[in-house]
Amino acid sequence: MLEAFRMRMFFFLGVVTLVIFVIVVQIINLQLIRGDEYREKSRMNMENYVPIPAARGEIYDRNFNPNAKSVVIVSNRPSFNVTMVPSNFKKKDEYRTVMRRLCKLLALPYDETVEGIAKLNPWERVTIKEDVDFNSIVTLATHQDKFPFIDWEASTVRVYNFGNMFAHAVGYTGSISREEFKKLRNFGYRHYQKVGKAGLESEHDILLRGSDGYIRRIVDVRKRTDVEEVGLHPVSGSNMVLTIDYEIQRIAHEAMEAHPKGSVIVMKAASGEVLSLLSKPDYDPNLIISKDNVTTIKDLMEDKERPFLNRAIMSKYPPASTFKLMTAIAALESERWDPATQLYCPGKYTLKGYVDKDFFCYDVHGTNNMEWAICKSCSVYFYQVGLRTTPTRILEYAGYFGLGEKTGINLPGEIPGFIPSGKWKQKTFGQTWYDGDTVNLSIGQGFISATPIGMAAFVSGIVNNGIIFKPNLVREVRSQDNRRVVQTFRPVKMREIPLSQRTLAVVKNGMRMVVASGTASRLSGLKVPVAGKTGTAQTRSKRMEDASQHAWFVGYAPFDAPPEQAIVVVVMVEYGVAGAATAVPVAERIFGKLLSQGYFNAEKK
């Protein structure tokens, strides 16, 4: 044959050899060099992990007894979720028909539901509706031909047994948001899980949530299952016993019913245990988690009264006359003032200066010493105490008591109060600190502000002879079966302010006199000696309006017992008429309940 033909055939032979060589090299590369990598990928293809949700811990009040019927604040209720894998539907028509039928059954808006599902990965299981009523599940089960590929799975729903009552203390849960997931993924959270959104549900989420287990399934490309086994058993979340007493919370809630806005804190001075904490307006957590009441939630979210704001820890107000206690402490501790000093109150005080300025008292109080000035809340007396003590010292003591910082209560979102300073004023207003500012400061008006929880800590510091504990809402954490105590929350000492017995005696006597014959005399009828102080904070913006005042009551009982038994009560009513008229009746009911619950009975508790 022709030599040219042979040459060209040999060239072709060369090409063939080269190609086979390349193929073999690539096979070696895939199977031998990168074999492990691809084996891992093929394993990931066929394995599918189906989570087994862990039961979330229950929440009880402080009187929980594992062997008796106890108050359950938050529990779980078994429920059903309706789910499906969208890619199981091979025909669009069929999908639409089934979805239309299903949305009708579950009372869902068709367009929104289908749009929502379209955004998700069609190969993964989608929850169409949570907490579906049992009758709908029965309908689904008996009419499988009409609802192909629609599944349901057992789940649980959180039940807030007392609705609004514990809204701000306990909070609520919800599906993890994208932002939360980014933050929490390193702590083992998964995108499909629920997470505490507010209150203790959020603060102690890790304790309550437990850890999900999973079922390991070998699945094919259409997610049909071949082999199924439990890969990891779920670990239930721990139960939580609160320091809150249901009875006290209930009474506080009832007493606050009449007031649209405000907050109450009841706290043991010697440990920081919170017996009651509530904020108005509030909301029903059950409504938030039910999800099918979208408009209600939206209304709540957009409500100008901000029901989600926990006013006990997230709002600050001028402490008003309750701050006179601070002025007194600063004056006495710095030995700038003799408590026996008598001053005459003509109803106003004129501050001498470039232009004279009058500062008024709400009454003509006559001649008083310090205790009587506290009792009658005489501002004229305290103007002069404040001027003598100097603002630096007053603010210094406000700082010692932590009014400018967070108390550290175990609730999310706490804000600190605010302690001004000369430097701050210069920076913010470009003015120096005037004597007029001092006069305002000495009666808790002007720049200073405090949160209700901050005030509770302050009062507990007076009661406790200078020691302030971290406010705490959790007594102990128990195992899921309640047999074991997993964790106990011990009192944490936050501050220790050296206060002389003389100072404490003057302030406490003054507070006792407030109740005995002063602005809170309504409380004198109780069978326990109460001490306290009222305040009427003036808000700047609405000074001229009738209800432009916030009513404060801070106090404790029993007056004469050792601090270990003392319970601090702080009542704050926004736009209340005056401390005495609005806040004191609330405090009265709380002290009454504390009494009947035996909190002041030294032998019993």
- By CB under 8 A, name the binding residues for another protein: 1-2, 4-6, 8-9, 11-13, 16, 19-20, 22-24, 26-28, 30-32, 34-35, 37-39, 41-43, 45-46, 218-222, 224-226
Closest distance of CB 50 from another protein, Å: 16
Geometric angle at alpha carbon 427, from 423 and 433, rounded to 5°: 50
Closest distance of CB 191 from another protein, Å: 19
Closest distance of CB 2 from another protein, Å: 8
Q: 21 Cβ partners below 8 Å, 6+ apart? A: none
Nearer to another protein, 16 or 602 (CB): 16
Closest distance of CB 25 from another protein, Å: 10
Nearer to another protein, 220 or 545 (CB): 220
Nearer to another protein, 33 or 138 (CB): 33
User: How far is the CA of 266 from the CAs of 9, 252, 446, 559, 580, in angstroms?
Assistant: 99, 9, 27, 16, 18
Buried b (16+ CB within 10 A) or exposed e, 527-550: ebbbbbbbbbbeeeeeeeeeeebb
Q: Please, how many CA atoms are within 13 Å of residue 134, restricted to the half-sphere of its CB?
A: 3
Closest distance of CB 149 from another protein, Å: 16
User: Do residues 474 and 334 touch, judged by C-beta distance below 8 A?
Assistant: no
Nearer to another protein, 68 or 221 (CB): 221
Nearer to another protein, 222 or 605 (CB): 222
Nearer to another protein, 226 or 603 (CB): 226
User: How far is the CA of 503 from the CAs of 335, 417, 497, 506, in angstroms?
Assistant: 10, 24, 12, 5
Nearer to another protein, 121 or 342 (CB): 121
User: Do residues 476 and 489 touch, judged by C-beta distance below 8 A?
Assistant: yes
Judged by DSSP in three states, 84 sits in strand
Helix (H) or strand (E) holding 370: helix 370-376
User: Do residues 594 and 557 touch, judged by C-beta distance below 8 A?
Assistant: yes
Q: How many residues does the chain have?
A: 605
Nearer to another protein, 34 or 182 (CB): 34
Q: 518 Cβ partners below 8 Å, 6+ apart? A: 374, 375, 376, 377
DSSP 29: I
Closest distance of CB 279 from another protein, Å: 49
Distance in angstroms (rounded) separating the CA atoms of residues 166 and 173 = 14
Closest distance of CB 16 from another protein, Å: 6
Judged by DSSP in three states, 568 sits in strand
Nearer to another protein, 77 or 224 (CB): 224
Closest distance of CB 151 from another protein, Å: 17
Closest distance of CB 319 from another protein, Å: 60
Nearer to another protein, 226 or 546 (CB): 226
DSSP 293: -
Closest distance of CB 125 from another protein, Å: 18
